[in-house]
């Protein structure tokens, strides 16, 4: 059936809302809006939900496509886990970090580790500790946003610590120059990581879900469906239809899917900003330009499936910049290998500009280059213990926010009436992760509900009762 923008909606009494994207952001939004009695359809172009946080089926089990941890301080995530009834599958584990420097592995977790960290001298270790304390005491995100990260780190930690500790950490996330990167980037990360510890002396606690991050995605989808949310897989949105109805920047009237136009009162996009820009030819040029100029990094992230443990660390940071990957993330030092078929999972990520040639490399090219360096780092690891090398890529992952450009962050309510955006660009100065994305989803849901206050909802109380678990 071909529907036109002014075809009647199936249920004229309640506003109909479309959410584009079935990742954790889209599902958390759908859940919060459906709890308030709103009529929601979620469109996901992939053949399964989860987006960046989805899984790969491997040898009869599900493994996270990209490494995903939930921190013990991630309250929005843990609330969703409880509400959707999977809290009994959440496990807390003390994790460890390390550094690979000059061919050796060093622990990097407790004040004792910092105090004994051989690549730094006594004075440098003291300054490193100062930087961590400073980050906890600093509360002014605007002040952090206005200074280059390198200036801030060198001023507090000194050049030596910067070269040995901070530069490798920055290299792990930024493909090229960091001159434009504000101090917020390390500041937010330090605050997030320290929040997983009670006091600086205690251990870092992280969590994982049995069945991977997808356990939450699946539970959220089930809770949404119980609330009447219509979830459509394998359905790519081709265009958000915008009519010039006298509203200053036009009004959303529906979605174009293939040769159909399905009418909606409101559309919320959870897509990365440049992807949304390409779906709104009817929006004012200024809106499309604002979305198109949001910058991101992509990631090339092979997953090694091993028969034996590689290191004792969840994350091993690498100071040697001749190695193409920037960390060794061994998630089975967090996840009990029994929950992933007895395999040991090691991710070897490299963050890259979306137009980097490396993102176009074949799997064989990536394997040859990555394994050359893997063998150099771990010469004693037996080849026979390597079961598989699975290459994963994503073009838009981590938003880049150049210094002093917060005014360029797109607002949740775009100028086009009925069009909303809820994506990782808007979580700044937080980083892109499940916690910040689901917190943003709650904020977006509140704004949409405020705007639709005049339009009747279904029976929210009944809907809430239905989902009580």
Ligand X SMILES: Cc1cc2nc3c(=O)[nH]c(=O)nc-3n(C[C@H](O)[C@H](O)[C@H](O)COP(=O)(O)OP(=O)(O)OC[C@H]3O[C@@H](n4cnc5c(N)ncnc54)[C@H](O)[C@@H]3O)c2cc1C
Q: Which of 276, 200, 210 is nearest to 237 (CA)?
A: 276
DSSP code per residue over 153-176: HHHHH-HHHIIIIIHHHHHHH-SS
What radius of gyration do the chain's Cα atoms show?
Answer: 23
Per the document, the length of the chain is 469
The answer to the question of residue 313 lying near ligand X (CB under 6 A) is: no
Residue 389 CB, nearest approach to ligand X (Å):
16
How far is the C-alpha of 24 from the C-alpha of 166, rounded, in Å? 30
Interface mask (CB under 6 A) for ligand X, residues 105-144, using x and -?
----------------------------------------
Residue 146 CB, nearest approach to ligand X (Å):
26
Q: Which of 89, 84, 87 is nearest to 223 (CA)?
A: 84
Q: Which of 178, 425, 434, 444 binds ligand X (CB under 6 A)?
A: 434
Place of tokens 């920055």: 170
The answer to the question of residue 294 lying near ligand X (CB under 6 A) is: no
The answer to the question of residue 212 lying near ligand X (CB under 6 A) is: no
Nearer to ligand X, 53 or 419 (CB): 53
Q: Which of 142, 221, 220 is nearest to 183 (CA)?
A: 142
Sheet containing 266-269, strands listed edge to edge, beginning at the edge strand earlier in sequence: 230-232, 39-43, 16-20, 266-269, 419-421
Nearer to ligand X, 157 or 439 (CB): 439
Nearer to ligand X, 21 or 410 (CB): 21
Phi and psi at 444, nearest 5°, equal -65, -45
In sequence order, which residues have a C-beta less than 8 Å from that of residue 311 and are 6 or more positions away? Answer: 98, 105, 328, 330, 333
How do 419-421 and 266-269 pair as beta strands? Answer: parallel
The answer to the question of residue 55 lying near ligand X (CB under 6 A) is: no
User: Which residue blocks in 174-234 are alpha helix, DSSP H?
Assistant: 184-194, 214-226
The answer to the question of residue 299 lying near ligand X (CB under 6 A) is: yes
Nearer to ligand X, 184 or 270 (CB): 270
The answer to the question of residue 215 lying near ligand X (CB under 6 A) is: no
Phi and psi at 166, nearest 5°, equal -75, -40
The answer to the question of residue 324 lying near ligand X (CB under 6 A) is: no
The answer to the question of residue 21 lying near ligand X (CB under 6 A) is: yes
Place of tokens 């407790």: 110
Residue 21 CB, nearest approach to ligand X (Å):
3
Q: By CB under 6 A, what part of segment 243-272 binds ligand X?
A: 270-271
Residue span binding ligand X (CB under 6 A) among the ranges 65-73, 94-102, 105-113, 135-143: 65-73
Residue 271 CB, nearest approach to ligand X (Å):
5
Q: Which of 294, 326, 426, 432 binds ligand X (CB under 6 A)?
A: 432
The answer to the question of residue 184 lying near ligand X (CB under 6 A) is: no
Q: Which of 16, 35, 41, 69 binds ligand X (CB under 6 A)?
A: 69
Q: Which residues bind ligand X (CB under 6 A)?
A: 20-26, 43-46, 51-53, 66-69, 236-237, 270-271, 275, 299, 301, 349, 394, 397, 423-424, 432-435, 437
């Amino acid at each position: 059936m071909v529907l036109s923008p002014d075809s009647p909606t199936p249920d004229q009494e309640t506003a109909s809302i479309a959410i584009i994207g079935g990742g954790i952001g889209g599902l958390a939004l759908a859940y919060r809006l459906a709890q308030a009695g709103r009529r929601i359809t979620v469109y996901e172009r992939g053949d399964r939900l989860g987006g960046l946080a989805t899984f790969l089926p491997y040898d009869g089990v599900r493994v996270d496509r990209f490494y995903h941890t939930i921190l013990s301080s991630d309250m929005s995530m843990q609330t969703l886990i409880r509400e959707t009834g999977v809290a009994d599958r959440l496990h807390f584990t003390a994790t460890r970090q390390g550094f690979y420097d000059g061919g050796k592995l060093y622990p990097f977790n407790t004040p004792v580790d910092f105090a004994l960290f051989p690549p730094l001298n006594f004075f440098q270790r003291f300054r490193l500790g100062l930087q961590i304390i400073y980050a906890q005491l600093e509360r002014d995100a605007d002040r952090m946003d206005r200074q280059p990260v390198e200036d801030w780190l060198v001023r507090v930690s000194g050049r030596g610590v910067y070269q040995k500790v901070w530069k490798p950490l920055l290299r792990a996330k930024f493909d090229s120059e960091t001159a434009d990167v504000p101090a917020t980037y390390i500041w937010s990360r330090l605050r997030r990581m320290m929040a997983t510890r009670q006091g600086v002396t205690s251990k870092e606690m992280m969590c994982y879900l049995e069945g991977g991050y997808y356990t939450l995605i699946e539970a959220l989808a089930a809770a949404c469906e119980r609330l009447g949310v219509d979830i459509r897989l394998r359905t790519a949105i081709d265009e958000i239809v915008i009519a010039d109805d006298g509203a200053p920047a036009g009004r959303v009237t529906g979605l174009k899917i293939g040769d159909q136009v399905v009418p909606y009162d409101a559309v919320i996009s959870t897509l990365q900003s440049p992807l949304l820009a390409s779906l709104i030819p009817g929006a004012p040029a200024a809106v499309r330009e604002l979305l198109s100029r949001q910058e991101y990094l992509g990631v090339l992230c092979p997953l090694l499936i091993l028969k034996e443990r590689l290191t004792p660390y969840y994350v091993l940071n690498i100071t040697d910049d001749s190695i193409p990957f920037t960390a060794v993330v061994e998630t089975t030092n967090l996840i009990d290998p029994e929950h992933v078929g007895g395999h040991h999972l090691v991710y070897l990520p490299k963050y890259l500009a979306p137009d980097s040639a490396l993102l176009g490399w074949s799997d064989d090219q990536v394997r040859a280059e990555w394994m050359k360096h893997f063998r150099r780092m771990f010469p004693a690891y037996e080849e026979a213990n390597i079961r598989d090398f699975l290459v994963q890529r994503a073009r838009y992952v981590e938003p880049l926010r150049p210094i002093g450009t917060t005014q360029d962050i797109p607002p949740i309510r775009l100028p086009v009436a009925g069009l909303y955006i809820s994506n990782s660009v808007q979580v700044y100065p937080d980083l892109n992760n499940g916690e910040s994305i689901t917190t943003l989803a709650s904020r977006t849901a509140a704004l949409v509900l405020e705007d639709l206050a005049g339009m009747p909802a279904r029976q929210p109380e009944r809907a809430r009762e239905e989902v009580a678990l």
